[in-house]
Amino acid sequence: MPYSVIKCSAWLGRFLQRRGLSTPDQRGLYAYHCSLEEYSELQHLLRELDGFEAALKDPAACACLVLFGSEWYRREYRSEYAWTWDPIWKALGFRLSPVELSKSIPKGLEGYWKRPLHLYDAGHRDFLGSLFSEGGLPFQVLREGDSRFQTLFDRLLKYYDQWHLQGGNTLQQVEQQLEKSNFPQVFASRTSVELIARMADELVALVRNYGLTQADEPVTYLDAMNPKWRELFPLPLDNQTGSELLNGLLKTATSEGKRRASRAAGWACQHFWHESMADVLKVQVSLPEEVVFRLTTQPSTTRFELAIAENGQLIAGLGPGYAQVDNGVARIRLRLREIVGKRRDCSISLTLVAMAGGRQIAALPIDGSAVALGEVPLGFELVNERWRLCGQASFNTAGEELLLVLPDGCNLSTPDSRGEAIFSDMPPALSRRTVKVQGKAEVLVEGEECYRIRTGHVTGMVNGPELTGVQAAWPSKPSLTYFGLPRVQWPAAAGELQQRGGELYIAGKQPGTGKLQEVLGTQYISVRNRDGDTLLRRRVGILPTDFRVELRSGETPDTGSILVYCQQRCLLQIDDESLQVQQVRHEDHIELRLSANAFPPIRVRLSVMPNLMADPVEIDLPFPSSGCLAFDGNGEQLKRTFSVDDLLGARLFLFGRSGTPTRFSIELTLRGSVARNACYSWSYIAADKPLEISLFNIREQIVDLLSLQSGIDQVVEMRVFGNGQDSRYRIRKYAMEMQLDHGRQLLSAVSLQDGAGAIPEPVLMLLHDPMRSSIAIRSRTSEGVLTGDFELPPIVERDGPWLVLPKGGSTVSFRPLFLAGGSEPIASDEMIQSLQKAVLTFDHASPVSSFTSVLDAMATNPMHSGWQFLRALYEGYGYLPLATFEVWKALVGNTRALAMALFKFEMEAVFLGRLEAEFPLFWEFLPIAEIHLAAKRFDAFLKVKGVSEEAVDALVGRMFSRLGETYPSYGQSVQCFLSGKPVGQEIKLPLGVFKEVLRGWYLELLRDRCEAQWPEFGAKRLERWYSSQSDSVIVFRSDMDYRNAVLYLPLFAAAVACGKAQFTDVFADGAEAIFFLRQVRDFDSKWFNSIFQYCLLNSVMEKHKAESVNG
C-alpha cells in the first residue's frame, strides 16, 4: 500500500486524539469541528494520493474522503453550485466513478465514522446527500442574501412556544418557515431542516438551562459559564462571522425567553385567529404555579386529571397533578402552565376542571374566556403573525391596525372626518363580515346597538363588564341562561370604564319599565355607558326564578319523565321523532312522559317558552332512563367491543332509581393469564341528577392496565354495575391490524371490531435507524376509492428490519407489523457497542438481552450515541406506545441507565409520566444512590465540556426541581440532598418528636379521608414487614386493618430507595404489585410524601455518616 495512503490513518489518529478520542464516537461529522488548518491539511493529504484507486480498500483513506466532502460543503458550498460532485473533484484533483463511490463512501461513512447513509425516496443510496448532511449548514450560503438566516431564526424563536403549544414540533416549524422565506433549495433537504431545528432547540435549551433571561449580557454570561457552548452548532467556529451569527441568535433566543417568562406570571386567557384557518378560533390559557379547588366529592386518590373545559367538553388536557387535600380544599402545583385549545362555542366561559375516575370533582372559572361572536364587534390586532382578540363591543386599542369582525346588519362610520384611517373589506373571518382598519381613527359600529371603537388610543384594559347571576345547571341555548335577571359585574381594574357608568338593558329597555314577563325567554341584554356606547351585548335566556327541572326514570330503560316546576305558565315542547311524548299536568308541576322508539337518545332538547313575544329557551337534558346508558363519540349506543381510539367522546350516564340515591361501580380488569387481580374500580352515587362519566378521562387507567402485559394485543374488560344492571365491555388496544401477503408483497388492513370502516395510514420505519425519515405506503384505489390494500416498496428487500406503523396524527391505529426485510445478519462475534447493532441482534429467546451491554455503557457515559438514538426515537415515534419498541422496555429494566435517562431527558414531566404509565415502574423505588451517582456523572460530563461549576449546579438543580414538580415525593429536601445542599428543618426533627408529629398527621388523614375508599393491596404483607423492622417510626397501630397499606407503604418505599430493603422482600409479582401500589401511593400524596422523605433522607444520611466514620 502506498505511503500516501498509510498517512491517512496517522492523520485521523491525530485528528481524534486532539478531541480526546481514540475512535469515532458516532457524532455527526460537523460536531468534530474540523479547523481551517486541519481542513487544509486534509485537502493536501488527499491531493497527494494522485487518484484514489489504491485507497479504495483502506477504511482510513475512505474516511478522509468522507470528512473532506462534508467539511467542503460546510465551508465552501455556494448556492450557484449544482447538486454535483464536480466542485469537490476540482478541489481534490481527481474523480471517482459511480462504482468507486459505491465502495468508498459506505466504507468511510458507515464503516469508519459509524454514521448512516441516507436514501432517496426510491430507496437508492444518496452518497452526496449523505456527505453534505454530515457537514452541517453551508456557511457561504448563510452569508448570502442580506442576513436571511438571522431573519429565519428570529421568526423560529419568536413563534417557538406557539408551535409547541399547539402540538407541533420544531421540524414542522422549520419546514413551514423555509417554504415562506424563499430560501435556497439546499436548505430544503431533510438534513438541513433537521440541523436548523436542532439549532433552534439548542438555543432555547441554553436560555432555559443557564437562566439567561436573568443576565444583562447573555453572551458574556454564557461564555463564562460554558466557554464551549458554540460547539453545539453546525457552523465553522474559526470564522469570525460564524461566531457573530451565533452570538446574535443567542441574544434573540434570550429576548424571546424573557417575553415567555413575563407571560407565565399567572392567569391569562387570549384568543387568536389566523387566515389559514378562517373558521377556527383558538384560545391560549396561561395558569399560575398552583391552583386551589374546593372539591365537590371525596375521591379515593389525590392524583387528579386536569383540563380546560367548555360546557363540560374538554378542549385541552393539562395532564395529571398531585393534590394536597385539607378540609375538602385541594392545592395542586401544575406541571403544564400554558396550553392552546380550539373553541367550539366561544360564547361559553371556560373552566379549569379536576377529574378523577372519569368524573368532574372540581372546577374553576377562567375569567375573560367568553367571546360574543356574532353579537358584538370583535377587534383583533396582529401579534406574531396571528390576530389576537384585543376587544369586544366598545373598546380602545393602542395599535393602528385592527381587524374588525362584525355582527350581521352593522354599518361603520367615522364621526371625525379628519381621520386618515383606511378601511378595507377582507375575506370573512369566523364566517362573519370582516373589515381591516389601518390608521388612527374613531369608528362607530351601528346596528341594533351603537359601539365606539378607537384605534391608536391608549388602552387601559381589555376585559369589559360581564354578566353574573344564577345560571342553569344543564347545557342550554342560549348558552348563558339565568334564573331571574342577571347583574352587571365589573373587572377588578375597571377604573375609568366603570366611572363612565353602565346601565343594564333588556331588549332595548331598562328593567322595571314594563311587565316582568316581557323580559323572560331568549333576549338580548346590553350594558351601555352614559355616552350611549354599548360595552356588552349578549344573547341570553331568562327563566323565572322558581323554574326547576327534575328527571324521573320509568319502569324500563327506554321510558322516563321530565318534571317541570314553575308557578308561571310556560309552553313546553320536545320535538324528537325518536320519542313519544305525553304531557300530563299535575297540581304543582307538569310531567312530560317519554318513551323511546329504540335505544334512547343521548340528549333530549326541552323547549321552554315563558314569554310568547320572545324565542324559547332550549335546555339539553339526558334521557331520563334508569341504570346505565353508554354512548360513543357520535352519540350512538356504545358497542360491546371497541378500541382505545374510540374512547374520545364516549360517555356513560348513571341514573338513580326514581330519584333516590343509587350506587354504581365501574371496574376495569385485564383479561388473560397475566395480572388477573389487577383492576381499577370507582364507586358513584347517582341521585336526582344523573352522573355523566367520560370514558376518555379514564384512558390513562386503561393504558396502565394494558402496560402490565408485555405484548400489544391485550384486552381490558370494563364492567358497569348497579341498580340491578351488569354490563360488560371489551376495550382493545388497537382497532385494526395489518396482514402481509408474502407472495404479492401486499399489506391488507383488517378490522378487529365491527363497524371500523376507516382506512389506516401506514408508514415504514427502519427499526435500527429512528433518525431516518419514515416512508409512506400508499393504498391501492378502485375507481378512485381507497381499498385498504398497500403495496410494499422495493426498498423493503434492500434493507431492514422494518416496522409498519400508523402515521403520526392518523385517527386509525393498528398493531405494528414487523418485517425482516433484507437486513444482513450481524456476525456472532461482533461487539455490540451501539443501540443500532443491539436492535439488529435482538432475540426474544436469548437469555441475555443484546441491549444490556449498551445500556450499561450508556449509564456511565452521557455522550454515548445511544442517547441520541433514544432521543430520535422519542421525538420521531413518541406518538406510539413506548412498549412498541423493545429498547424502552430494556431501559426501564436497567436501573443505572434509567437514572441517567432522567438527566438526558432533562426530567421532562410528560416523559417521566409516560414511563410510569406504560411500564410497571414506581419511581419512589428507584435507588436514590443511583440517582445520586448519575447526577455526579452528568455533573462531571458537563465540567469536561467546559461548563463552569456554578452553571452545572444551577442546571442540575433546575432538573431536580422539575422532578419534584412532576413527583412531589422528590420534594425540596430530597432535591437539596441530591444537590449536596443542607436538607430542610423538617427532616432534621428528632425521631421522638417526629413520632408525635406523625400521630397528629394520622388523625388528620382519618378526618380528611373518612368517606374515601381506602386501597387495601399489600396491607397484611406490609404490616408483617414493618413488624420485623428494628427501628420503628410509627408507634401506633391502625384500628382498621384495611388502612395498613396506606400506613406503611411510604416507609417500605423509603427502605427500598435507600437500599435497606428489596422489593422482593414483600412482593413477588412485580408488575401487578406495582400497579396496585401506585394506587396506594396516590391515595393521599401529602401523607406518603412527608413520611417517605423523612425516612429516606434520615436513612441515607445515617448511612453516609457511618461510612465516613468507618472510612
Q: Encode pLDDT of 278-288 as tens digits.
A: 999 999 999 99
Task: Provide the 3-class DSSP secondary structure of residue 682.
Answer: strand
CB-CB contact of 594 with 556 (8 Å): no
Confidence label for 494 from pLDDT (cuts 50, 70 and 90): low
Helices (H), 919-1043: 928-944, 949-966, 972-978, 991-1008, 1019-1027
Q: Using CA atoms, how far apart are residues 429 and 272, in angstroms rounded to an integer?
A: 11
Q: Tens digits of per-residue pLDDT, 294-322? A: 988 888 889 999 999 998 888 888 889 99
Residues 282, 272 contacting (CB under 8 angstroms): yes
The residue type of 287 is L
List Cα–Cα distances, 110 to 105, 120, 131, 399, 1023, in angstroms.
8, 17, 11, 57, 58
b/e code 471-493 from CB counts within 10 Å (16+ = b): bbebbbbbbbbbbbbbebebbee
Domain of 675, in residue numbers: 627-732
Range of 62-66, 208-212, 947-951, 1007-1011 with top mean pLDDT: 62-66
* Cell of residue 295, nine digits: 372539591
Dig out the grid coordinates for 226 from the structure: 460554558
Residue 774 and residue 869 in one domain: no
Measure the CA–CA gap between 428 and 434, rounded to whole angstroms.
5
- Are 228 and 288 contained in the same domain? no
Residue 443 forms part of a structural domain: yes
Q: Which of 805, 839, 835, 801 is nearest to 821 (CA)?
A: 801
Q: How many domains does the chain have?
A: 10
Q: In this structure, are residues 325 and 1010 in contact, taking their beta carbons and an 8 Å threshold?
A: no
- Packed helices 1070-1083 and 699-706: angle between N→C axes, nearest 10 degrees: 150
Q: Indicate the pLDDT class of residue 846, thresholds 50, 70 and 90.
A: confident
Q: Which residues contact 1048 (CB under 8 A, 6 or more apart)?
A: 1019, 1022, 1023, 1025, 1026, 1034
Q: Is the pLDDT of residue 256 over 90?
A: no
Q: Which three cell numbers stand for residue 285?
A: 390559557
Question: Does residue 639 share a domain with residue 572?
Answer: no
Average pLDDT on 1029-1038 reads 84
Q: What SS3 state is found at 468?
A: strand
Same domain (yes/no): 351, 390: no
Which pLDDT tens digit goes with each residue over 802-830?
999 999 888 888 888 999 888 776 666 56
pLDDT at 54 over 90: no
pLDDT at 281: 96
Share of the chain above pLDDT 90, in %: 36
Cα–Cα dist 898/461, whole Å = 50
- Give which of 111, 105, 107 is closest to 125, Cα–Cα: 105
- Report yes or no: 322 and 334 within 8 Å, Cβ to Cβ: no
> What local confidence, expressed as pLDDT, does residue 265 receive?
62
- Domain end: 433, 455, 477, which one? 455
Going 1053 to 1055 to 1059 to 1060, the CA torsion angle's sign is: negative
Contact 368, 462 (CB under 8 A): yes
Check: CB of residue 1013 under 8 Å from CB of residue 1035: no
Where are any strands of DSSP class E within 575-671? 579-585, 590-596, 604-609, 617-621, 627-631, 641-643, 651-655, 662-670
pLDDT per residue over 367-407, tens digit each?
889 999 999 999 999 988 889 999 999 888 888 899 999 99
* Per-residue confidence (pLDDT) for residue 1048, from 0 to 100: 94
Is residue 805 located within the same domain as residue 845?
Answer: no
- Whole-number Å distance between alpha carbons of 63 and 57: 11
My answer on whether 641 and 704 are in the same domain is: yes
The DSSP letter of residue 673 is S
| CATH number, domain with residue 390 | 2.60.40
1093/1086 Cα distance (integer angstroms): 11
Sheet holding 359-365, edge to edge: 290-294, 329-333, 313-326, 303-310, 350-356, 359-365
Q: Which of 396, 429, 427, 387 is nearest to 271 (CA)?
A: 387
Question: Is-contact 714 673, C-beta < 8 A?
Answer: no
| Cβ proximity of 424 and 435 under 8 Å | yes
Q: Give the span between the Cα atoms of 374 and 407, in whole angstroms.
A: 4
Kindly state whether residue 411 falls inside one of the protein's structural domains. yes
Shared-domain flag, residues 840 and 961: yes
What mean pLDDT is reported for the chain?
86
Examine the domain organization and report whether 556 and 429 are in the same domain. no
pLDDT of residue 650 exceeding 70: yes
Residue 373, domain member (yes or no) = no
CA quadruple 809, 812, 813, 818: dihedral sign: negative
Q: If you average pLDDT over residues 826-853, what whole number do you get?
A: 82
Query: Residue 900: what are its φ and ψ, rounded to 5°?
Result: -70, -35
Tell me: do 402 and 440 sit in the same domain: yes
233 lies in a domain?
A: yes
**Pick from 468-482, 971-985, 1002-1016: least confident:** 1002-1016
pTM of model > 0.85:
no
Q: 1033 with 1056: CB under 8 angstroms?
A: no
Do residues 863 and 954 both lie within one domain?
yes
Task: Say if residue 48 is exposed, middle or buried (CB neighbours under 10 Å; 0-12, 13-18, 19+).
Answer: middle
Cβ atoms of 668 and 701 closer than 8 Å:
yes
Could you tell me which residues come within 8 angstroms of residue 382 by beta carbon, excluding any fewer than 6 positions away?
A: 388, 399, 401, 403
Q: What pLDDT shows up at residue 749?
A: 85
| CA-closest candidate to residue 374, choices 346, 401, 351 | 346
Q: Which residues contact 588 (CB under 8 A, 6 or more apart)?
A: 565
Task: State the chain's maximal CA–CA distance in angstroms.
Answer: 112
Distance of CA 655 to the CA centre of its chain: 34
- In whole angstroms, give the CA distance from residue 772 to residue 207: 29
Name the domain boundary from 584, 603, 621. 621
- Residue 13's pLDDT band (boundaries 50, 70, 90)? very high
How far is the C-alpha of 845 from the C-alpha of 821, rounded, in Å?
20
- Is position 774 within any domain? yes
Q: Is the pLDDT score of 677 beyond 80?
A: no
Mean pLDDT of 774-802: 85
CA distance 438 to 461: 21
Query: Has residue 1100 been placed in a domain?
Result: yes
Q: What is the pLDDT of residue 621?
A: 93
Over residues 600-629, mean pLDDT = 92
CB contact at 8 A, 676 and 712: no
Q: Is 461 contained in some domain?
A: no
Per-residue pLDDT, averaged over 548-574, amounts to: 91
Q: Which residue, 235, 263, 291, sits at the end of a domain?
A: 263
Instruction: Answer yes or no: do 240 and 278 share one domain.
Output: no
pLDDT range class, residue 566, cuts 50, 70, 90: very high
* Among 1061, 1065, 1060, 1062, residue whose Cα is nearest residue 1100: 1060
Rounded CA-CA distance 324/327 in Å is 10
What is the per-residue pLDDT for 116? 74
Has residue 531 got a pLDDT over 60? yes
Q: Which residue has the cell 410494499?
A: 792
| Residues 517/610, Cβ–Cβ less than 8 Å | yes
710 in a domain, yes or no?
yes
Is the domain of 256 the same as that of 166?
yes
Dist CA 336 CA 291 (whole Å) = 12
